[in-house]
Each structure stands twice: as structure tokens, then as C-alpha cells.
Structure 1
Amino acid sequence: MKNLLFRDDESLIGSNWYYLEKKLFIFPLLLSFIGLLAIYSLIGTEYSIALLFKHTVFLLFSLSILFFFSLIPINNLRKILNVIAISFLLLLALVPLLGYEVKGATRWINLKFFSIQPSEILKGPILCLFSWFCYLFIKTGKSLYMFLFILIMLIVSAFLLLQPDIGTLMLYLSSFFLLIILYLRNIKLFFILGFFGVLLLAFAYFTFDHVSLRIDKFFSSESSPQVARSLSAIIGGGFFGVGLGEGQLKYSIPESHNDFIFAILIEEFGIFFGLFIALLYPIFFFLIKQILKSQPNLFIQNTTFSLCFILCIQAFINIGSSIDLIPPTGMTLPFISYGGSSMLSYAIIFGTLINFSKNEKNSLSNTS
């Protein structure tokens, strides 16, 4: 027991734990605690204590996954992520057949005891798989890998359009395009892909009523009732908030445990607390980049950047919709909003990023 969890410990957990940047665990744990406060605050509205219980179960399971993913050897992690990506890609294909509709969109599959949203859990694993394809393309020059990248990207895009889930589709595509730019380092490609993204947004606007409705409302002189209430609650909270459980926004907005959780937190804990939450995501990104700035492995570098990108962008989309900077999208606030699929998705992403931070000299340079 003398060397347990230290450098000379030869166990799987001990040998990997020694090389981890432990301070990175602070961020998901802090976000988890903030999420628990937010869900606790909702008890007594349309939600009972059962919501807090379910959230806690999701959280404990997700944290277990996070620690597991952070500790396993990197090459094993990559293989596990590839298996998850392929498995949930198949589940995504089954959503039109087995999924059930919620608010006009079919995104969930009911597994009797719980439901899952394949497109949510797929985020981290599919990015790692695509990064691996790009890495192999750069290393070998074989066009097969880029063909697989484009083929699977089109398949994912098609199934997200079928649901429809335009917000998640745009998040996916921006991450995929980022990977291509990171690996190919071509400025012309940046503008080409940007133009393609604008065309896709225009297509979504003219094809899907709910997309055009949200965008039209956003650019109109009046905010939607939900956003107006959100802004009013944020202003009412002031610098220090009205206190835990004392906010009123949660009584007037449906699905407040997802879309407007940030506004609820600001109303009850104040603007300074909201700024603290908003800064946690980019600070985590900055620390990861500082730790890996001398990392020679291209796969680790670019996968890390793309995973941090999707984490921060989703956080700021949720925050931005709460304060009327962008149209509401229904995206969760990572590791704070209620939702098992979202929490599991970002547990995988956080665990992978912390794993990549290992400072073991040889483990990061032998990706194969």
C-alpha cells in the first residue's frame, strides 16, 4: 500500500493517476456543484424532489465515467472512443425508426428505464474519430481516410436534419470544419467552409419553420416572452442575487432546468456569479492549451482544441440565448443543465481532455 496512487504504483489507476494534471478536475466538479444548486432551486415549482434525485444519479454516473476516461491509457481511450462513435452513429440512424417526438423533434430513444439522445453522446467520440481520420490522412497521404471523414460527416448531417436538430447540426459542422482547418492549415479552405456554413444556415432558415421563427423573433424589435422574462430576471438579480430558491423566473418559463438555467442562477446568485460560471469554460480551455503547448503529437493537439471548442461554444450558445445575444437553440449548459445524455456527453469530453493532459513523457508521443 506504500506506493498506492504514486509514481511507483504499477496498477492501472495508480500509474496513470500520478501523471494527471489533478487541478483540471476542479472544473467539472465545480460545474457539477453549481448544477446541483440550480436543480435544488427548482424543487417546489413544476418539479418535485425526484428531479434532484435523478439529476444526482446522472451526475454520479457521469463523474464515474469522467474519472474512468481520464485514467485509462491514451491508446486504449482512443479505441474505446471509436467504438462509442460507431455504436452511437448506428443509434443515431435508428432514431427515425425508434425515436419519439418531443416538441416537433424526434431526437430521443426510449430504453424502457431511461431515454438517450444519441446525437448528444456522440459529440466527443465522433470528433475524436474524425480527428483520427485526419491524422491518418496527414501521416499516410491515403485519400481513403478523408473519404471516410466526409462520408460519415454527411451521414451525421442527414440524420440531424431528419430529426430536425439544426442547432446541434451547426455545432457539429463547425467542429468538423475546425478539424479540417487545423490539420490542413489552408486559409482558402477556411473561407470555402465558412461560405458553405452560411449556405447551410440559409437552407435551414427557408426549410424549417421553427428555425425561421426563432431567427425572425430574434431580429424583431421585441424579444420572445421567455427571453424577455430571462433578461428581467437577470436585471432583478443584480450583482449578488436574491438568494437560493428565491428567484421567480423558474415559475414562469417551461423547461427552465435546461434552456434558461443560466438566467435562474444569475437571478438567485447575481451577475458576478454568472460571470464566474461563464469564465470557467474558457479558463479550462486556456489551462489545457498551456499544459499541451509543447505536445508534439498532432492528433492530441488538434483533438484537444476541437473538444475544448465544442465545450466552450455550447456553453456560450446557452448563455447567449439567455441574455438575448443569439436566438434560443435548446442547447444545455454543459455539466450544469439537467439531462443524463448531456451530462454523459460532457463527462466523456472532460475525461478525454484531462487524460490528454497527462505529463508522462512517452505516453503522448506514441499514439498508434
Structure 2
Amino acid sequence: MWALVIILLVFSFLPVYSASANLAYIGKGTGNTTKFLVKHFGHVVIGLGLLYSVHKIPYRYFRGLSVLLLPVVIILLGYTAMQGTVMGGASASRWMTVPVIGMKFQTSTFAFVVLMAYVAKYLASIKDKVVTFKESILPLWVPVGIILMLIVPFNLSTAVLIFAMILLICFVGGYPLKYLLAMLGVGFVALTLFVLTAKAFPGVFPNRVDTWVSRIATFGGEGDSDSTYQVERAKTAIANGYIVGVGPGKSVTKHVLPQSASDFIFAIILEEFGIIGGLIILSLYLFFLFRLIIISTKAASVFGQLLVIGVGFPIVFQALTNMAVAVNLIPVTGQTLPLISSGGTSILMTCMAVGIVLSVSAQREEVKAREKIKEDEMNPLDVLSEAI
């Protein structure tokens, strides 16, 4: 797991440095991409430091931390919604500005990690118990519902991803399937009502619903020239790359593809490193998923198993979503490529999630080490007796 994270982070410097060229000319930019490289380097260093620090924390502590941080997350999401930025005239209240240092922070990503840890804690507490739907509403679905309601108006793709991962971890955790199907229906109805309300009162959430409709229409081939621009440029980048790519830093499409260093960075990777490079990156994320499964199955407790699934699986699903958008398999979502795309929040929160996973793995290694010491100290008769 450590090797996979470091490989992806080190590789990220190539596409990020290359794709940041168009950002360097925005506004009164001079074309200097060095500052973007330095900024990305800072994010990577801080992310690795956070990863190492979190992985040293015994994972059992995340039970209590998830409960303590849940109200904090709700407050941060509410504050972000009130003071979030407006981009291109559209409401995009996803970021809050951290006081003193002035850094922008995407609170929904932090809420994702905390909420998944909280749900894992709840499911572990009801393991092997018969729980009715009524009993689970307050401790489980009310916090989930509040957080999703605060995220949906400004970041639909993240809210959908969170809801999907909640259903997945609940299914793995043994939560009754009939209740999950009921919640899936509730979620669909709630989203439909929200869309209808937003269409009826467009001044409340300027342009957000129109943006979603436009993206879906674009995916269906019915969008206008503006809404299809990003998708068409991404296709051009992929076509230029062909099998082996045009070479690191030699992308031409990066100058005309918006979000080429974040949302559409996989298209730039395919252009510069070709299909071969893209398949290698895909293989790394699939191997990452394989390692998550191994760590989860070997976890020392039910909570550890569910925690790995809850905070680890979304990383892989987000990566697959980003790749699917780049090759036009699904509508544009705005999800970054974890550990590769530029963006401090994405890197830091992904590293935090990986740190939690490694905490579970480290705890398992400590248990094995103690068992090994115990075996070494036992005489042969004791070992035989223990085995029997």
C-alpha cells in the first residue's frame, strides 16, 4: 500500500506540471508553471506527513473520533454553504477559506471520510444483533441525511458517491437488504423533489440544476457547443495519444482543455503516455483495490474490516469515475483522480483515508508480532498444547 501511494504521488508530478500550463496563462498569468509544481510538491509533502501521522494512531480510536467530528463536519458544511464561492456566475459552495493561512478547503471531502468512519462504527456496534429500521433511523440515517442534504445542492456527484458507498458498506456490514432498498427509494424521491424545487425556484441555487441537466444532455449527444466543449477536447487528447503517447509534457490539448490538471487529468495522461500508460495507471488502482480487500479480510475486528471498506473503497471508485468521465463513459461529474490530480484537499483527504487503512493493517501486524514472540517463548509441549 505504501509503495502504491508513493508511485502514484511521484508520477503525479509529470501530468500536473504539464497540465498546469493553461492555468499559468489565465488572467494576467505569465506562463510560469513552476509555482504550480511547487504548490503541488507542498501538497504531496503535507499529505505524506498526514498519512504517516494518521497511520500511527490505533484504529480503534477512530470510533470515538468519528462521533466527535460528526457535529464539526455538519457545522463546517453549513458554514461552507453560506460563504462558499461563486464560479462563473453559478453557485459552487464547496470550499471554505481557512482563517489565517487563507487556504481553500473542500469540506465535503472531509465529511466523506468522517461519515464513512461513523457508519462503520455504527454497523460494527449492531453486528449479530437484530435491528429494526425504526431503531436505526436516528443513529444512522439522520446523520447521513443531514450531511447529504448539505452537500447535494452544491456537489451532486460527491453526494451520490457518498450515498452509494454508504449503501455498499451497509450491505457488507449485514444491514437488512430490504431496508437498504427502502433507503434507495427514499434517496431517489428526495433527489427528484429537490430538482423540481430547484427548477421552480431557480434563484435559490443559481444554475446548478441547469448544469446537471446540461451534463446529462451532453452525454446523450444533445448538448450545445459550450456544454460539449470539455468532452470533445478530452476525446481529442485521447486520440492524439493513441498507443504510446506523444511524450511527457508534449500534450497540445492541455492548452484548450479546462480542468486539465484536475477533473480531466486522465485525458492528458492518455495523450502523453498513450493507452499503455493509461492501462498502467488503471492497473495500479485495481491493485490498490486488491490490497484493500486483503487488509479488510485480515483485520482483527469487524470495525477494522468495515473501516477499510468505508474509507478505502471510495478512493478506487472515485478514480474509476474520473477515468470514465475522461473517456466519455459517464456524464461529467467533477471528481478528481485521487493521488494524481492537483488540489490540496483531494490529496490531503485521500492520504488521511489511506492512513486510516494502514492503521488497520499496522494493528494486524502488531498482533502477529506479539503472537510470534509468544510462540518463541513457549516450549515445544506448550506449542503442542496451544495447537490442540
* Shorter-chain TM band: 0.7 to 0.9
What is residue 5 of structure 2 aligned with on the other side? 28
Mapped partners of 1:307, 1:107: distance in 2: 20
Unmatched runs of 5 consecutive residues or more in structure 2: 25-32, 199-208, 369-388
The answer to whether the 8 A contact 1:134-1:145 is kept is: no
What is residue 98 of structure 2 aligned with on the other side? 111
Secondary structure of 2:23's counterpart equals coil
**Residue 327 of structure 1, CA deviation:** 0.5
**Residue 172 of structure 1, CA deviation:** 0.9
Partner amino acid for 2:248? Answer: L
Point out the structure with max Rg over C-alpha. 2
Q: Does 1:255 align with 2:259?
A: yes
Mapped partners of 1:43, 1:177: distance in 2: 36
Q: 31, 42, 59: which one pairs with 2:19?
A: 42
What is residue 127 of structure 1 aligned with on the other side? 116
> Which residues in structure 2 correspond to 1:321-336 (within 5 Å)?
321-336=325-340
Mapped partners of 2:97, 2:366: distance in 1: 44
> Against the structure 1 CA distance between its residues 287 and 279, is the aligned structure 2 distance closer, same or farther, given a 3 Å change threshold?
same
> Which residues in structure 2 correspond to 1:57-72 (within 5 Å)?
57-72=42-57
Partner amino acid for 1:220? Answer: G
Secondary structure of 2:13's counterpart equals helix
The answer to whether the 8 A contact 2:109-2:349 is kept is: yes
Mapped partners of 1:181, 1:243: distance in 2: 44
Q: 92, 95, 103: which one pairs with 2:80?
A: 95
Partner amino acid for 2:354? Answer: F
> Which residues in structure 2 correspond to 1:183-194 (within 5 Å)?
183-194=173-184
The answer to whether the 8 A contact 1:121-1:342 is kept is: no
Q: 139, 148, 151: which one pairs with 1:157?
A: 148
The answer to whether the 8 A contact 1:242-1:269 is kept is: yes
**Residue 251 of structure 1, CA deviation:** 0.4
Q: 269, 273, 292: which one pairs with 1:288?
A: 292
Worse overlay, 287-296 or 318-327: 287-296
Mapped partners of 1:289, 1:231: distance in 2: 33
Mapped partners of 2:194, 2:82: distance in 1: 23
> Against the structure 1 CA distance between its residues 133 and 291, is the aligned structure 2 distance closer, same or farther, given a 3 Å change threshold?
closer
Partner amino acid for 1:59? Answer: V
The answer to whether the 8 A contact 2:20-2:261 is kept is: no
Mapped partners of 2:297, 2:3: distance in 1: 21
Q: Does 1:172 align with 2:162?
A: yes
Worse overlay, 123-132 or 318-327: 123-132
**Residue 84 of structure 1, CA deviation:** 4.1
Partner amino acid for 2:84? Answer: G
Q: Does 1:220 align with 2:207?
A: no
Mapped partners of 2:21, 2:298: distance in 1: 51
Worse overlay, 96-105 or 114-123: 96-105
Unmatched runs of 5 consecutive residues or more in structure 1: 1-23, 364-368
**Residue 335 of structure 1, CA deviation:** 0.9
Q: TM-score, normalised by structure 2?
A: 0.80
Secondary structure of 2:93's counterpart equals strand
Partner amino acid for 1:122? Answer: A
